[in-house]
Amino acid sequence: MTLRKLLPVLGFSLLLSCGREVVLEANPNLDPSPANRQSVPKVVDPMTTQQWNMKQVGMDQVWQQGNGQSRRITVAILGSGIDYTHEDLVNNVFVNKSEWKEKTPGKPNSLDQVDDDQNGYVDDFVGYDFVDHDGLPYDRHGSGTAMAGIIGAVADNGVGIRGIAPEISLLPVRFIDGSGQFKFPNLVSSIEYAVKMKADLIVLHLPSYVFKPNSAKVEKAMVAEVLKKVDASALPIVVSAGSSGLNLTKGEDLLSALRLSSNVIAVTAIDKNETRPAIANFGRDAVETSAPGEAVLSTSPGNSYQELSSTSLAASHVAGALALAINKNYGRITTRKMLEAFLKPEASDPVDPMKFETIGGNRLNIAKYLQYLSQN
């Protein structure tokens, strides 16, 4: 791990001792000890009035009922990583306590180049980076941080926005680089990592990807193999439909291969006017449902906020709803039933334009979804 990699990561400071030895000192906000995760006085988040998306999916009602707490739930966010030092995310970032060691009292060192928990990933203190192959999955693209904000931005801390599940554990897994590109094996490795870390659910930012004839057989076999692990663990995966404006009906795209698992659900985007943005992929037989994904305000790297448009944002809304459902119904309802509920008319909002573009012909309503699960 190089100093160049560490310099842009705001969560770490470089200290030079008298002997000119560089010491890495972790951001105290990432300290797993209770003293550094204590509660703070509640202050209204100033940008919540701009979150039209939360009103559209019924979150005002959910928050009023106190259904936003799910700290025990870990959501693996597979994509471009997360700015895990962001003011609105840092207190909800996953911490791998098994990688937190102390060489001397009071000097925690999570970057000791030792696989302390022996899981095959060195120093995966806050997740893992399959682009640079280290334990610092810092977001250099922006999409992953936006996904994290929708799912789990901290509530009532006086800054920014509020996430669907403002008390949750966000596990960043990076396979998309700063330019938005990815390598197929890194995506597969990301899913394997989330399974190994026993995440409760995965939300996957899936760029549009069509299998090439000369590599399709091998790549499909890799997908089938990792899906066996997903199914064995009953791990749900919420997948973005992609943002290339494609009608996914031919079956030679990566999303079709992933949907061979009953634990996978695909989501496309919808805007505040209940129509599908032109960039959003769709498919009457390939995409289950829709959620807000056009001009949605969320967190951005560097303690900033911006509006973005992507089906990955839509998938994040569904993932947030699923996190609340898992927390509320832990072990009572199977993964498949929780996913099937997203398509039920009584557990969502029917939307006429989506009847010909998604299987459910509907849009996410989290209040209705949770109520449906509590009664069935």
What are the residue ranges spanned by the domains of the chain?
40-375
> Out of 20-29, 72-81, 126-135, which region has the weakest mean confidence (pLDDT)?
20-29
Q: CA 88 to CA 292: how far, in whole Å?
A: 20
Q: CA 320 to CA 259: how far, in whole Å?
A: 20
pLDDT for position 270: 98
- Is the CB of residue 2 less than 8 Å from the CB of residue 17? no
Going from the C-alpha of 290 to that of each of 165, 293, 304, 325, 338, the distances in angstroms are 19, 9, 27, 18, 16
- Is the CB of residue 82 less than 8 Å from the CB of residue 89? yes
pLDDT for position 29: 44
249 contact partners, CB below 8 Å, separation of at least 6: 283, 284, 285, 286
- Say how far residue 375 (Cα) sits from the centre of its chain: 28
Q: CA 141 to CA 67: how far, in whole Å?
A: 31
- The alpha carbons of the chain give a radius of gyration, in whole angstroms, of 20
- Residue 172 is classified by DSSP as E
Indicate the pLDDT class of residue 42, thresholds 50, 70 and 90. Answer: confident
85 contact partners, CB below 8 Å, separation of at least 6: 9, 10, 11, 27, 29, 30
Q: CA 168 to CA 155: how far, in whole Å?
A: 11
Indicate the pLDDT class of residue 108, thresholds 50, 70 and 90. Answer: low
Instruction: Write the pLDDT tens digit of every residue in 26-40.
Output: 343 444 444 445 455
**Of all residues in the chain, what percent carry a pLDDT higher than 70?**
84
Closest CA to 288 of 215, 341, 229, 352: 341
Instruction: Write the pLDDT tens digit of every residue in 256-269.
Output: 999 999 999 999 99
> Out of 30-44, 71-85, 180-194, 213-227, which region has the weakest mean confidence (pLDDT)?
30-44
Q: Which residue has the tokens 């008319």?
A: 345
Higher pLDDT, 27 or 189: 189
Asked whether residue 284 carries a pLDDT value surpassing 80, the answer given is: yes
Higher pLDDT, 128 or 101: 128
Closest CA to 155 of 272, 253, 41: 41
Q: Which residues of 32-55 are buried (b: 16+ CB within 10 A; e: fewer)?
A: eeeeeeeeeeeeebebbeebebbe
Higher pLDDT, 97 or 158: 158
Amino acid identity of 95? V
Instruction: Write the pLDDT tens digit of every residue in 46-91.
Output: 999 999 999 999 999 998 887 556 678 999 999 999 999 999 999 9
Asked whether residue 8 carries a pLDDT value surpassing 70, the answer given is: no
CATH fold of 40-375 reads: Rossmann fold (3.40.50)
Asked whether residue 353 carries a pLDDT value surpassing 50, the answer given is: yes
pLDDT for position 251: 81
> Out of 30-39, 112-121, 161-170, 248-257, which region has the weakest mean confidence (pLDDT)?
30-39
pLDDT for position 296: 98
Asked whether residue 149 carries a pLDDT value surpassing 90, the answer given is: yes
**Of all residues in the chain, what percent carry a pLDDT higher than 90?**
74
